[in-house]
Amino acid sequence: MPLPPQGDTIAAIATAPGVGAVGIVRLSGPESYTVGARLFAPHSGRCVTDLPAGRIVYGRVTDGEELVDEALLLTFRTPHSYTGEDVLELQTHGGPAVLRRALELCLRHGARLAQPGEFTLRAYLSGRLDLVQAEAVLDLVNAQSDSARRSAALGLSKALTEQLDLIQSDVTRVYGNLQAVFDYPDEGVPDADFIEPLGRAVGRIDKLLATAKAGRIAQRGARLALIGKPNAGKSSLLNALLGYRRSLVSDVPGTTRDYLEAPLDILGVPVTAVDTAGIRDTGDAIEASGVELAKSIARNADLSLLLLDTSTPLEPEDLALIAELDPARLLVVASKTDLSAVWGPQTHGIATLNVSATTGEGLETLRQTVRERLIGDAGGTELWLGGERQVSALETVRENLLRAQAAPDDLAALDLEDALRTLAELTGRGDIAEETLEHIFKNFCVGK
């Protein structure tokens, strides 16, 4: 879908679908105040077109002689608005019928319906936001956890842009020095003016790329698989983590034949926990399918909790399952530690966390360990890369800089040009392909 035309006046409902106490219809563009004057009558008697910026005005939304609703009107004037244009926000009661009627009046009186993300697109095109900030807006809207919200808020505050600017500054410095060498070839470039800035830029890129996993999981959530033999305590642990009974607990082996999903928040990280079928050899075709599905879920999960029941003997199949799974995405949990132990982790050199779903022992440590294994400390910051576009661009810049470090001056200059071009595209300060803007803003909701 091509980018929408600019310069006209757009309107959209800016609040989520459904019933609420308050709903918002937003107008942006040069005719916003004219459109507003045709449907909103302030109780003060003033005309909307005469209202200054920064006012909250009480009045009525009308369709001719018909009263649609009593509402508030918020006024913004260019360039001091979200989009950088004249903007009106109409706050009505939040019923769907009221909002639809108010929007219909805006469209009837000269506005057109905004496309997804068009208000934020205009904020970018007017220079109110750079492209990284625009992406942070979407991340903030979609944030499902407090850590995702904090990371998106940092991106919106230009904290990520400032880090990118530092990288660009170092690359620009080296590129400028190389251009000087071409003009004065006998001078050369001191190592301090070439190696050090590029090394510093690569180091900053590496720190940002190290946050990519944390950013992805904070925004999209992680899948946490609970696996183990029948009666290992998987369902009990899931219920304990949730704080309520979600999964059926039974002493009968093979109770869980399919898998069960439940969303939970682990210390600010959104997680979908998956309780799987008990893993064992069985002649039951349905249960065997559940076992294979459990193994597949574990292989594809961001992290698997393998529960080993300390109150029953450890079997070779348990050790074989540990060996089968990726250790980077595996956490072994010694369950039912409130019961008399038949074996201990030290017997087989297995690193485990001791947990009792019955008494709650070890649950807090388990939560902290799961969070650390999923997102790490990400360099001790919550300024995380927010999407694949940012990760891909920085990986490209890193490759350019590494090649420049090893290349002769003329080829190094070409690599640095590519790096600077990619950095400009990342922040939106260079020539941005229309397809890139379409890809970014199509994911926004209408009204943002």
Domain ranges within the chain, ordered by starting residue: 10-129, 136-211+384-428, 230-373
Does 37 show up as a binding residue in the annotation?
A: no
Does 177 show up as a binding residue in the annotation?
A: no
Euclidean distance between CA atoms 347 and 5, whole angstroms: 70
Does 429 show up as a binding residue in the annotation?
A: no
Residue pLDDT, tens place only, 12-66: 999 988 899 999 999 999 999 999 999 999 999 999 999 999 999 999 999 999 9
At 434, phi and psi to the nearest 5? -60, -35
Does 300 show up as a binding residue in the annotation?
A: no
Does 116 show up as a binding residue in the annotation?
A: no
Does 233 show up as a binding residue in the annotation?
A: yes
Does 253 show up as a binding residue in the annotation?
A: yes
Could you tell me the pTM of the whole model?
0.80
Q: What is the mean pLDDT of the chain?
A: 86
Cα–Cα distance list, 444 to 94, 122, 137, 296, 440 (Å): 21, 13, 9, 33, 8
pLDDT of res. 1 = 55
Q: In the structure, what pLDDT confidence band is assigned to residue 150 with cuts at 50, 70 and 90?
A: confident
Euclidean distance between CA atoms 430 and 424, whole angstroms: 5
Residue pLDDT, tens place only, 66-123: 999 999 999 999 999 999 999 999 999 999 999 999 999 999 999 999 999 999 999 9
422, 398 in Cβ contact below 8 A? no
Does 221 show up as a binding residue in the annotation?
A: no
Euclidean distance between CA atoms 200 and 194, whole angstroms: 10
- Indicate the residue type of 59: G
Checking if the pLDDT of 425 tops 70, the result is yes
111, 29 in Cβ contact below 8 A? yes
Checking if the pLDDT of 3 tops 80, the result is no
Q: Is 399 helix (H, G, I), strand (E, B) or coil?
A: helix
Does 443 show up as a binding residue in the annotation?
A: no
CATH architecture of the domain formed by 230-373: 3-Layer(aba) Sandwich (3.40)
Does 448 show up as a binding residue in the annotation?
A: yes
pLDDT of res. 79 = 95
Does 247 show up as a binding residue in the annotation?
A: no
Does 234 show up as a binding residue in the annotation?
A: yes
Q: Which CATH number fits domain 10-129: 3.30.1360.120, 3.40.50.720, 3.30.70.120, 3.40.190.10?
A: 3.30.1360.120
Which run of H or of E encompasses 209? Answer: helix 195-209
Residue that wins the pLDDT comparison between 130 and 284:
130
Does 252 show up as a binding residue in the annotation?
A: yes
Instruction: Single out the residue of 294, 297, 290 nearest to residue 228, CA to CA.
Output: 294
Does 281 show up as a binding residue in the annotation?
A: no
- Find the mean pLDDT for residues 422-435: 83
User: By 3-state DSSP, what share of the chain in percent is helix, strand and coil, each rounded to 5?
Assistant: 45, 20, 35
288, 237 in Cβ contact below 8 A? no
CA angle, residues 400, 403, 408, in degrees to nearest 5: 125
Does 216 show up as a binding residue in the annotation?
A: no
Does 211 show up as a binding residue in the annotation?
A: no
Does 272 show up as a binding residue in the annotation?
A: no
Q: Which CATH class is domain 136-211+384-428?
A: mainly alpha
Tokens of 81: 């608005």
Tokens of 253: 């082996």
Cα–Cα distance list, 175 to 25, 168, 342 (Å): 49, 10, 67
Does 94 show up as a binding residue in the annotation?
A: no
Checking if the pLDDT of 250 tops 60, the result is no
